[in-house]
């Protein structure tokens, strides 16, 4: 299987000094795992963003460090700036390609639900991710969930309904609920008639009090 290749370089700058790297268009990172020593590295920011968009989440890439043989790694941790959402640091995890790993993957919604499209319901995502186990090259960016069977508000889809690719094993409990459709909220109309009757009753009561007062005054005369 052909994997994307990403060239990196050793990094000597640490701590607050790495800010100068980012200003120069370079990302700080680190590679570790699978029997190798942790090593700080730098990556061209544009090259990494292009690869990340193409490969997606949980991608396995061949890391090219100097003249060494390409090292298969997972995009393990990608740290983003809390405001700009730009990548500021990347952790690469070196992996054994023959060893299965347990990892979180996203649930990808596919299909259309009649309960949503025709009955005005709201699709509830009871889980956004599930645990799967697979060899690195078989790890998907996500697993699909077809919601076309949600035709009313009584049905619930479970982890067992996920479309699990070949070479992948579901670790999450198959009976765990992952999605359903909530019925639309119906706002109760205000009791306009009752309110109007109450208002009329109040006016009659005020008129009665005024008539009574007038009668008393005539009696005293």
Helix count and strand count (H, E) for the chain: 4, 13
Q: Quote the domain boundaries for residue 119.
A: 101-182
Domain boundary among 77, 94, 111: 94
Domain boundary among 51, 75, 94: 94
Along the 221 residues of the chain, how does pLDDT read in single tens digits? Answer: 678 899 999 998 777 778 888 888 899 999 999 778 899 999 999 999 998 888 877 889 999 987 678 899 998 889 998 998 889 999 999 999 999 999 999 999 999 999 999 999 999 999 999 999 999 999 998 999 999 999 999 999 999 999 999 999 999 999 999 999 999 987 665 555 555 555 555 555 455 444 444 444 444 44
CA distance 93 to 85: 22
The verdict on 88 and 14 lying in the same domain is: yes
Any idea what the CATH number is for the domain that residue 170 is in? 2.170.120.20
pLDDT of residue 55: 81
Any idea what the CATH number is for the domain that residue 44 is in? 2.40.240.10
pTM for the structure as a whole: 0.73
The verdict on 54 and 73 lying in the same domain is: yes
Which helix (DSSP H) or strand (DSSP E) does residue 220 occupy?
Answer: helix 192-220
């Amino acid at each position: 299987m052909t994997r994307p290749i990403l060239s990196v370089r050793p990094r000597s700058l640490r701590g607050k000094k790495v800010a100068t790297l980012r200003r120069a268009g370079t990302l700080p990172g680190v590679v570790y795992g699978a029997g190798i020593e942790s090593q700080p590295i730098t990556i061209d920011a544009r090259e990494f963003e292009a690869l990340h968009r193409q490969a997606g989440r949980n991608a396995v890439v061949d890391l090219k460090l100097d003249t060494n043989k390409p090292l298969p790694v997972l995009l393990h941790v990608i740290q983003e700036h809390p405001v700009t959402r730009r990548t500021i640091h990347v952790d690469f995890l070196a992996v054994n390609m023959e060893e299965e790993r347990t990892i979180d993957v996203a649930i990808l919604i596919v299909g259309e639900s009649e309960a949503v499209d025709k009955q005005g319901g709201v699709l509830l995502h009871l889980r956004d991710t599930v645990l799967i186990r697979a060899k690195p090259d078989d790890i998907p960016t996500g697993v699909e969930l077809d919601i076309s069977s949600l035709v009313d508000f009584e049905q619930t889809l479970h982890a067992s309904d996920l479309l699990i690719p070949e070479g992948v094993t579901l670790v999450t409990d198959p009976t765990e609920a992952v999605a359903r459709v909530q019925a639309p909220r119906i706002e109760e109309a205000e009791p306009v008639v009752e309110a109007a009757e109450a208002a009329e009753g109040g006016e009659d009561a005020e008129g009665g009090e005024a008539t009574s007062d007038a009668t008393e005054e005539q009696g005293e005369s």
